[in-house]
């Protein structure tokens, strides 16, 4: 028999998950991470937490309203979103997500309205707004009465929605068995940890620019919670590396073999581990560095998602070497990211025009006692 030569031709493909997807996963993670921080002061009525919890709720609301826009843009034809409801597919996590998102956002918006409508009524009564804005504020306040039972019910719905969002955003990526880097149960855990860290970081930034004093009682638990997320993130990363190095998990070993020879991936791993350790150290030893700590926490949430989505797609499914991704300057790249940030800023301005940050943190040091 004559020897034969089998030649495998590798096919270059365009990335399927664009930066729009990274932005969605980043923003929705920040939203449910910040939402959880709103619970101690608003629902639990823990002393010293009210101002921080209100700021966290503001961040959760702005990010939660911005995230679906990025998701719709990632569909390439945003009008197709209704297909998820017309043709439900039980085997698809993305299909399930189309139902989970309204549960979370509906609960979040209702919870935010119930929590903030007394402040809206106060703001309208104080005369600090123009007549039109004051009228709008009174209308939105709808009497401005506190409805404790309704608030707790809305918070429960939002909690369920947040858990479902955390579940589906992790599983949606993990189920892609064609990519060993994604096919690990550790990935959803790391998504949740970095989302919580990002939510804390966003709240720290809002706190830094709100004038809320660093001595606020909720600050120390906030830094401790951030330190815990960083320690757990390092632990999850170490477990992934151990499974790959020892060969205890063939999938982890395969994923490690794909990225280990790459200098870029080695640098990314060192950068990620180093920034996580730095954030952990600052949170424990230098809690006064709120601005830097907040930026580092947001960086960890973004870097995790960018590396997994974009970096993961640079690894070919067949063949050797890596694809080279260059960030486009148009709407599907840099311009889209700038636009999403502009939407975030616009929503933030709109919300804080009706309800200024100073009003959110007003009397925060004399908030309600622990229930």
pLDDT in tens, 39-60: 999 998 888 788 899 999 999 9
Between 185-189, 320-324, 334-338, 354-358, the lowest mean confidence (pLDDT) is in: 320-324
pLDDT of residue 363: 53
State the Cα angle at 369 between 365 and 371, rounded to 5°: 145
How far is 55 from 41, CA to CA, in rounded Å? 10
Instruction: Please give the backbone phi and psi of residue 200, each rounded to the nearest 5 degrees, phi first.
Output: -65, -45
Give pLDDT tens digits for 79-117. Answer: 778 888 888 899 999 999 999 999 999 999 999 999 999
- Which residues touch 26 (CB under 8 Å, ≥6 apart)? 198, 301, 302, 305
pLDDT band at 149 (very low <50, low <70, confident <90, very high): very high
The mean pLDDT value for 223-230 works out to 94
Residue 118 class from Cβ within 10 Å (0-12 exposed, 13-18 middle, 19+ buried)? middle
The H or E element spanning position 20 is helix 19-42
How far is 354 from 360, CA to CA, in rounded Å? 11
Q: Find, among 345, 51, 364, 355, the residue nearest to 222 by Cα.
A: 51
Instruction: Please give the backbone phi and psi of residue 330, each rounded to the nearest 5 degrees, phi first.
Output: -85, -160
Residue 133: count of CB within 10 angstroms of its CB: 14
Contact by Cβ (8 Å): 19, 337: yes
Q: At what angle do helices 19-42 and 290-306 cross, to 10 degrees?
A: 140
Residue 153: count of CB within 10 angstroms of its CB: 15
């Amino acid at each position: 028999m004559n020897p034969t030569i089998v030649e495998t031709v590798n096919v270059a493909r365009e990335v399927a998950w664009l930066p729009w997807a990274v932005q969605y996963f980043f923003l929705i993670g920040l939203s449910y991470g910040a939402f959880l921080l709103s619970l101690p002061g608003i629902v639990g009525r823990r002393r010293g937490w009210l101002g921080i919890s209100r700021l966290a709720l503001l961040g959760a609301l702005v990010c939660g309203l911005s995230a679906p826009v990025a998701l719709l843009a990632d569909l390439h034809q945003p009008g197709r979103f209704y297909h998820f409801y017309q043709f439900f597919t039980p085997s698809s996590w993305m299909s399930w997500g189309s139902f989970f998102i309204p549960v979370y956002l509906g609960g979040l918006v209702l919870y935010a309205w119930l929590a903030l409508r007394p402040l809206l009524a106060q703001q309208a009564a104080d005369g600090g707004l123009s007549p039109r804005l004051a009228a709008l504020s009174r209308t939105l306040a709808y009497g401005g009465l506190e409805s404790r039972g309704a608030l707790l019910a809305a918070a429960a719905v939002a909690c369920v929605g947040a858990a479902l969002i955390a579940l589906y955003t992790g599983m949606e990526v993990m189920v892609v068995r064609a990519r060993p880097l994604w096919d690990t149960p550790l990935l959803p855990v790391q998504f949740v940890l970095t989302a919580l860290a990002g939510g804390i970081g966003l709240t720290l930034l809002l706190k830094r620019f709100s004038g809320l004093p660093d001595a606020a009682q909720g600050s120390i638990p906030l830094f401790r919670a951030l330190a815990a997320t960083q320690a757990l993130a390092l632990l999850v990363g170490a477990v992934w590396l151990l499974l790959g190095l020892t060969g205890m998990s063939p999938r982890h070993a395969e994923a490690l073999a794909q990225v280990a020879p790459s200098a870029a991936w080695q640098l990314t791993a060192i950068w990620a581990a180093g920034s996580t350790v730095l954030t952990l150290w600052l949170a424990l030893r230098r809690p006064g560095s709120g601005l830097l700590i907040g930026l580092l926490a947001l960086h960890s949430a973004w870097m995790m998602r960018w590396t997994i989505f974009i970096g993961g797609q640079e690894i070919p499914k067949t063949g050797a070497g890596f694809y080279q991704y260059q960030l486009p300057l148009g709407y599907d790249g840099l311009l889209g990211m700038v636009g999403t940030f502009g939407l975030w800023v616009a929503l933030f301005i709109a919300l804080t025009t009706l309800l200024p940050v100073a009003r959110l943190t007003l009397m925060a040091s004399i908030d309600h006692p622990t229930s």
